[in-house]
Chain A
C-alpha cells in the first residue's frame, strides 16, 4: 500500500479509495472529489456485498459507502468490513439522511457521513479530515485481512 501524504503537492494527499454506490453518476462524482484531492479510486462496487469483497482484495485507505444499495445495505457492509478490519476508514455517502441509519453506521465505526449531492470542496475537506485523523481507540493499527 502506498503511504499516505506521499505527494509533494500542497493540500493533496496520495491515498487509495474504494467507492461503493449503485449509481454510476454518484461513483463518478465521488471519483472527481478523490482525484481532486490527489487520491486514486482503486476499486468500485455497486452492492454492499461487492464492497466487502473489494475491500478484502484491495485494502484501500478510504471507503466511500452509499447507504442504500442492493443485495446488502451499506450499513451491513460497514459492519462486516469493520469486523474484519477495525481500522478501516469508511465514510457514508447518502441521499437519505436517515438519522437512525447514519447513527447506526457511525456507532459501528464509520468515521463520517456526507450528504448528496457532494460538493467538491466540502467533501474533500471532510475526507481529508478522515484520512488525517488518528484511528479511534481500540481500532488497531492494521488490516486483518
Chain B
C-alpha cells in the first residue's frame, strides 16, 4: 500500500466532512490494521477497481451517523430510514469521488463502485481474496468520530 494512493481518501474524507459539518475536523493517529476490520455500527463502503483496487470504509457509530444525516438534511432524521441510509451512502460516494479524481490526476486509472451501507452490531469487514492491510485514521468532528479505513493495492 502506497501513501500516495491512500492519502487522497483521507484528505477527501476530511474535506467532505468539513463541508458537511461546517466546522473543524481533526485527524487522529494513523494506524495500520490487518483485516478483518471491526465496525462501529454503521459503515459506508465504496469498492475500488482498476489499476488500484481495494475499498474505503467510512465507519461510525449510529448516533454519529444520525447527527451527520441531520446536519446534511437540516433536520434530525427519524432513525436510519432508507433516506438516511441513502444520505450516508451519498456522503461516501462524494468522498470516494474526490479521491478518485485526485488519483486520476496522478495517473492512476480506477473507478469507485456504487456505495454500500452496512448497519449492525459487532460487525467485522473482511476483504475477499488476499488479506489487505488497511490504513485507519479517526476523524474527529463536532458531530462525532468517523473512522476512515482504506485498503488499496496495485491490481
Binding site for B on A (CB under 8 A): 23-26, 28, 68, 94-99, 116-117, 119
Contact = CB atoms under 8 A, between A and B. Distances in A.
B20 A24 contact: no
Interface centre among A23, A26, A95, A97 (most CB of B within 10 A): A95
B86 A24 contact: yes
A24 B83 contact: yes
B70 to A, nearest CB: 12
A96 B112 contact: yes
A97 B98 contact: yes
A18 to B, nearest CB: 19
A95 B97 contact: yes
B83 A25 contact: yes
29 contacts: A23-B86, A23-B89, A23-B90, A23-B93, A24-B83, A24-B86, A25-B72, A25-B73, A25-B83, A25-B87, A25-B90, A94-B97, A95-B90, A95-B94, A95-B96, A95-B97, A95-B98, A96-B97, A97-B98, A97-B101, A98-B101, A99-B101, A99-B105, A116-B90, A116-B93, A117-B16, A117-B20, A117-B94, A119-B19
The 5 closest A-B pairs by CB, nearest first: A95-B97, A25-B87, A96-B97, A95-B94, A97-B101
B86 A99 contact: no
Contacts of A97: 97-98, 101
Contacts of B100: 96, 98
Interface in B3-48: 16, 19-20
Nearest to A29: B72
Contacts of B94: 95, 116-117
Chain B: interface size category: 20 to 34
Interface string B78-103: 00001100110110011011101100
A96 B16 contact: no
A95 B96 CA distance: 8
Contacts of B114: 68
Contacts of B83: 24-25
A95 B104 contact: no
Contacts of A116: 90, 93-94, 97
Given A23-B93, A97-B101, A116-B94, 7 more contacts: A23-B90, A25-B86, A95-B90, A95-B96, A98-B104, A99-B105, A117-B94
Interface centre among B87, B90, B96 (most CB of A within 10 A): B90
A98 B98 CA distance: 9
A25 B98 CA distance: 18
